[in-house]
Structure 1
Protein backbone atom coordinates (compact mmCIF):
# COMPACT_ATOMS: atom_id res chain seq x y z
CA UNK A 1 0.00 0.00 0.00
CA UNK A 2 1.18 3.41 -0.83
CA UNK A 3 0.99 6.25 1.54
CA UNK A 4 0.38 9.86 0.57
CA UNK A 5 4.06 10.61 1.23
CA UNK A 6 5.22 8.16 -1.51
CA UNK A 7 3.81 10.37 -4.27
CA UNK A 8 1.57 9.38 -7.15
CA UNK A 9 1.62 5.74 -8.21
CA UNK A 10 4.12 4.82 -10.88
CA UNK A 11 2.68 4.68 -14.42
CA UNK A 12 2.83 1.39 -16.26
CA UNK A 13 2.51 0.96 -19.98
CA UNK A 14 0.02 -1.72 -20.98
CA UNK A 15 0.43 -3.18 -24.46
CA UNK A 16 -2.55 -5.12 -25.72
CA UNK A 17 -1.18 -5.98 -29.16
CA UNK A 18 2.13 -5.60 -30.86
CA UNK A 19 2.47 -3.66 -34.10
CA UNK A 20 3.56 -6.83 -35.80
CA UNK A 21 0.18 -8.46 -35.29
CA UNK A 22 -1.66 -5.43 -36.61
CA UNK A 23 0.50 -5.42 -39.72
CA UNK A 24 -0.13 -9.13 -40.31
CA UNK A 25 -3.87 -8.66 -40.31
CA UNK A 26 -3.60 -5.63 -42.58
CA UNK A 27 -1.35 -7.43 -45.12
CA UNK A 28 -3.58 -10.49 -45.19
CA UNK A 29 -6.63 -8.28 -45.68
CA UNK A 30 -4.85 -6.49 -48.54
CA UNK A 31 -4.29 -9.83 -50.28
CA UNK A 32 -7.73 -11.24 -49.54
CA UNK A 33 -9.62 -8.13 -50.59
CA UNK A 34 -7.46 -7.79 -53.72
CA UNK A 35 -6.53 -4.19 -53.12
CA UNK A 36 -3.72 -2.51 -55.06
CA UNK A 37 -1.16 -3.59 -52.49
CA UNK A 38 -2.48 -7.15 -52.44
CA UNK A 39 -2.47 -7.27 -56.24
CA UNK A 40 1.11 -6.04 -56.29
CA UNK A 41 2.14 -8.76 -53.83
CA UNK A 42 0.41 -11.47 -55.85
CA UNK A 43 1.84 -10.13 -59.13
CA UNK A 44 5.29 -10.31 -57.53
CA UNK A 45 4.77 -13.95 -56.63
CA UNK A 46 3.46 -14.76 -60.10
CA UNK A 47 6.41 -12.95 -61.70
CA UNK A 48 8.85 -14.91 -59.54
CA UNK A 49 7.17 -18.21 -60.47
CA UNK A 50 7.14 -17.31 -64.17
CA UNK A 51 10.79 -16.28 -64.09
CA UNK A 52 11.72 -19.55 -62.43
CA UNK A 53 9.77 -21.56 -65.00
CA UNK A 54 11.29 -19.68 -67.93
CA UNK A 55 14.85 -20.04 -66.61
CA UNK A 56 14.49 -23.77 -66.07
CA UNK A 57 12.73 -24.23 -69.43
CA UNK A 58 15.57 -22.37 -71.15
CA UNK A 59 18.21 -24.49 -69.45
CA UNK A 60 16.33 -27.69 -70.30
CA UNK A 61 15.79 -26.66 -73.90
CA UNK A 62 19.45 -25.68 -74.21
CA UNK A 63 20.65 -29.05 -72.92
CA UNK A 64 18.17 -31.01 -75.05
CA UNK A 65 19.14 -29.08 -78.19
CA UNK A 66 22.84 -29.42 -77.43
CA UNK A 67 22.70 -33.22 -77.47
CA UNK A 68 21.92 -33.61 -81.21
CA UNK A 69 24.32 -30.77 -82.06
CA UNK A 70 27.14 -32.48 -80.18
CA UNK A 71 26.31 -35.81 -81.78
CA UNK A 72 26.40 -34.13 -85.21
CA UNK A 73 29.74 -32.47 -84.44
CA UNK A 74 31.24 -35.73 -83.20
CA UNK A 75 29.77 -38.46 -85.43
CA UNK A 76 32.19 -41.07 -84.07
CA UNK A 77 30.50 -40.83 -80.65
CA UNK A 78 27.10 -41.29 -82.25
CA UNK A 79 28.30 -44.37 -84.10
CA UNK A 80 29.27 -46.21 -80.88
CA UNK A 81 26.93 -49.08 -80.05
CA UNK A 82 26.04 -50.42 -76.62
CA UNK A 83 24.21 -53.76 -76.55
CA UNK A 84 23.42 -53.32 -80.25
CA UNK A 85 21.85 -49.87 -79.79
CA UNK A 86 23.55 -46.70 -80.96
CA UNK A 87 24.74 -44.41 -78.18
CA UNK A 88 22.84 -41.47 -79.69
CA UNK A 89 19.53 -43.33 -79.27
CA UNK A 90 20.41 -44.32 -75.72
CA UNK A 91 21.20 -40.72 -74.81
CA UNK A 92 18.13 -39.27 -76.56
CA UNK A 93 15.76 -42.06 -75.51
CA UNK A 94 16.80 -42.85 -71.95
CA UNK A 95 19.34 -40.41 -70.50
CA UNK A 96 17.01 -37.43 -71.02
CA UNK A 97 14.51 -38.61 -68.40
CA UNK A 98 16.79 -38.23 -65.38
CA UNK A 99 17.49 -34.69 -66.59
CA UNK A 100 13.77 -33.94 -66.81
CA UNK A 101 13.17 -35.44 -63.37
CA UNK A 102 15.97 -33.30 -61.92
CA UNK A 103 14.51 -30.16 -63.51
CA UNK A 104 11.06 -31.02 -62.12
CA UNK A 105 12.51 -31.58 -58.66
CA UNK A 106 14.41 -28.27 -58.77
CA UNK A 107 11.30 -26.43 -59.97
CA UNK A 108 9.11 -27.88 -57.22
CA UNK A 109 11.60 -27.01 -54.49
CA UNK A 110 12.16 -23.50 -55.82
CA UNK A 111 8.43 -22.83 -56.34
CA UNK A 112 7.72 -24.00 -52.80
CA UNK A 113 10.47 -21.69 -51.53
CA UNK A 114 8.93 -18.76 -53.45
CA UNK A 115 5.52 -19.50 -51.95
CA UNK A 116 7.01 -19.84 -48.48
CA UNK A 117 8.74 -16.47 -48.83
CA UNK A 118 5.45 -14.95 -50.02
CA UNK A 119 3.68 -16.43 -47.00
CA UNK A 120 6.38 -15.07 -44.70
CA UNK A 121 6.02 -11.65 -46.32
CA UNK A 122 2.27 -11.68 -45.83
CA UNK A 123 2.50 -13.01 -42.27
CA UNK A 124 5.17 -10.51 -41.13
Structure 2
Protein backbone atom coordinates (compact mmCIF):
# COMPACT_ATOMS: atom_id res chain seq x y z
CA UNK A 1 0.00 0.00 0.00
CA UNK A 2 1.54 3.30 -1.04
CA UNK A 3 1.22 6.54 0.91
CA UNK A 4 -1.28 8.09 -1.51
CA UNK A 5 -3.65 5.13 -2.03
CA UNK A 6 -6.77 4.80 0.07
CA UNK A 7 -6.93 1.95 2.58
CA UNK A 8 -8.90 -1.13 1.55
CA UNK A 9 -12.54 -1.11 2.62
CA UNK A 10 -13.21 -2.64 6.00
CA UNK A 11 -15.01 -5.91 6.17
CA UNK A 12 -17.21 -6.87 9.07
CA UNK A 13 -16.85 -10.49 10.13
CA UNK A 14 -20.14 -11.72 11.54
CA UNK A 15 -19.54 -15.46 11.78
CA UNK A 16 -19.65 -15.39 15.58
CA UNK A 17 -23.02 -13.62 15.50
CA UNK A 18 -24.69 -16.11 13.21
CA UNK A 19 -26.88 -18.83 14.66
CA UNK A 20 -25.01 -21.64 12.87
CA UNK A 21 -21.53 -20.39 13.72
CA UNK A 22 -20.89 -22.94 16.47
CA UNK A 23 -22.01 -25.80 14.24
CA UNK A 24 -19.66 -24.69 11.51
CA UNK A 25 -16.75 -24.29 13.92
CA UNK A 26 -17.14 -27.66 15.65
CA UNK A 27 -17.64 -29.50 12.39
CA UNK A 28 -14.59 -27.80 10.87
CA UNK A 29 -12.53 -28.57 13.98
CA UNK A 30 -13.40 -32.26 13.69
CA UNK A 31 -12.77 -32.36 9.95
CA UNK A 32 -9.49 -30.46 10.14
CA UNK A 33 -8.37 -32.47 13.18
CA UNK A 34 -7.60 -29.46 15.34
CA UNK A 35 -6.87 -29.92 19.03
CA UNK A 36 -10.52 -29.38 19.91
CA UNK A 37 -11.74 -31.70 17.17
CA UNK A 38 -9.18 -34.30 18.16
CA UNK A 39 -10.35 -34.10 21.78
CA UNK A 40 -13.95 -34.54 20.66
CA UNK A 41 -13.11 -37.61 18.59
CA UNK A 42 -11.02 -39.04 21.45
CA UNK A 43 -14.03 -38.54 23.71
CA UNK A 44 -16.22 -40.51 21.32
CA UNK A 45 -13.65 -43.29 21.04
CA UNK A 46 -13.27 -43.36 24.84
CA UNK A 47 -17.06 -43.58 25.26
CA UNK A 48 -17.31 -46.41 22.73
CA UNK A 49 -14.40 -48.28 24.34
CA UNK A 50 -15.95 -47.92 27.79
CA UNK A 51 -19.26 -49.22 26.49
CA UNK A 52 -17.58 -52.18 24.77
CA UNK A 53 -15.67 -53.09 27.93
CA UNK A 54 -18.77 -52.86 30.12
CA UNK A 55 -20.80 -55.00 27.74
CA UNK A 56 -17.98 -57.55 27.42
CA UNK A 57 -17.60 -57.75 31.20
CA UNK A 58 -21.35 -58.23 31.60
CA UNK A 59 -21.36 -60.97 28.97
CA UNK A 60 -18.43 -62.80 30.54
CA UNK A 61 -20.03 -62.56 33.98
CA UNK A 62 -23.40 -63.85 32.77
CA UNK A 63 -22.03 -66.71 30.68
CA UNK A 64 -19.24 -67.48 33.14
CA UNK A 65 -21.72 -67.76 35.98
CA UNK A 66 -23.38 -70.78 34.40
CA UNK A 67 -20.43 -73.21 34.78
CA UNK A 68 -19.67 -71.73 38.20
CA UNK A 69 -23.25 -72.40 39.25
CA UNK A 70 -22.97 -76.04 38.21
CA UNK A 71 -19.65 -76.34 40.02
CA UNK A 72 -21.08 -74.81 43.19
CA UNK A 73 -24.28 -76.90 43.08
CA UNK A 74 -23.35 -80.27 41.52
CA UNK A 75 -26.92 -81.58 41.76
CA UNK A 76 -28.07 -79.11 39.09
CA UNK A 77 -26.04 -80.94 36.46
CA UNK A 78 -28.36 -83.95 36.79
CA UNK A 79 -31.61 -81.99 36.38
CA UNK A 80 -33.45 -82.61 33.10
CA UNK A 81 -35.98 -80.34 31.45
CA UNK A 82 -38.03 -81.81 28.58
CA UNK A 83 -35.52 -84.64 28.37
CA UNK A 84 -32.53 -82.31 28.05
CA UNK A 85 -30.00 -81.96 30.83
CA UNK A 86 -29.95 -78.46 32.33
CA UNK A 87 -26.30 -77.64 31.47
CA UNK A 88 -26.93 -78.35 27.79
CA UNK A 89 -30.17 -76.41 27.89
CA UNK A 90 -28.59 -73.34 29.47
CA UNK A 91 -25.38 -73.31 27.44
CA UNK A 92 -26.77 -74.56 24.13
CA UNK A 93 -30.22 -73.02 24.00
CA UNK A 94 -30.47 -70.10 26.42
CA UNK A 95 -26.97 -68.76 25.69
CA UNK A 96 -27.69 -67.72 22.11
CA UNK A 97 -30.75 -65.55 22.77
CA UNK A 98 -28.82 -64.03 25.68
CA UNK A 99 -25.94 -63.14 23.33
CA UNK A 100 -28.39 -61.77 20.77
CA UNK A 101 -30.02 -59.58 23.42
CA UNK A 102 -26.66 -58.31 24.64
CA UNK A 103 -25.61 -57.52 21.07
CA UNK A 104 -28.87 -55.65 20.46
CA UNK A 105 -28.37 -53.56 23.61
CA UNK A 106 -24.75 -52.84 22.63
CA UNK A 107 -25.71 -51.63 19.16
CA UNK A 108 -28.42 -49.34 20.56
CA UNK A 109 -26.06 -47.82 23.14
CA UNK A 110 -23.24 -47.40 20.59
CA UNK A 111 -25.65 -45.66 18.23
CA UNK A 112 -26.71 -43.37 21.09
CA UNK A 113 -23.06 -42.46 21.71
CA UNK A 114 -22.64 -41.63 18.03
CA UNK A 115 -25.87 -39.61 17.99
CA UNK A 116 -24.70 -37.64 21.04
CA UNK A 117 -21.44 -36.89 19.21
CA UNK A 118 -23.32 -35.84 16.10
CA UNK A 119 -25.61 -33.61 18.19
CA UNK A 120 -22.53 -32.05 19.78
CA UNK A 121 -21.00 -31.21 16.41
CA UNK A 122 -24.31 -29.98 14.99
CA UNK A 123 -25.15 -27.58 17.83
Normalised-by-shorter TM-score class: 0.7 to 0.9
Distance 1:28 1:94 in 2: 47
- Stretch deviating more after TM superposition (16-25 or 42-51): 16-25
RMSD, aligned CA: 1.8
In structure 2, the gaps of 5 or more residues are 1-13
Moved over 2 A (4+): 15-20, 82-85
Q: TM-score, normalization: structure 1?
A: 0.82
Count of residues paired in the alignment = 110
Q: Identify unmatched segments of 5+ residues in structure 1.
A: 1-14
In 2, the alpha carbon distance for the partners of 1:97 and 1:16 equals 54
In the aligned structure 1, how far is the partner of 2:103 from the partner of 2:19? 37
| CA gap 1:16/1:86 in 2 versus in 1, 3 angstroms | closer
TM-score relative to the length of structure 2: 0.83
1:8 aligned partner: none
- 2: distance between equivalents of 1:25 and 1:89? 57
* TM-superposition CA deviations, 1:64-94 (whole Å, max 9, x none): 1110010111111110123432111111111
Distance 2:19 2:111 in 1: 25
Which deviates further from its counterpart, 72-81 or 38-47? 72-81
Report the CA distance between 1:16 and its aligned residue. 9.2
For 1:1-124, what aligned pairs fall within 5 Å after superposition?
A: 18-124=17-123
Q: Hey, what does 2:9 align to over in structure 1?
A: none
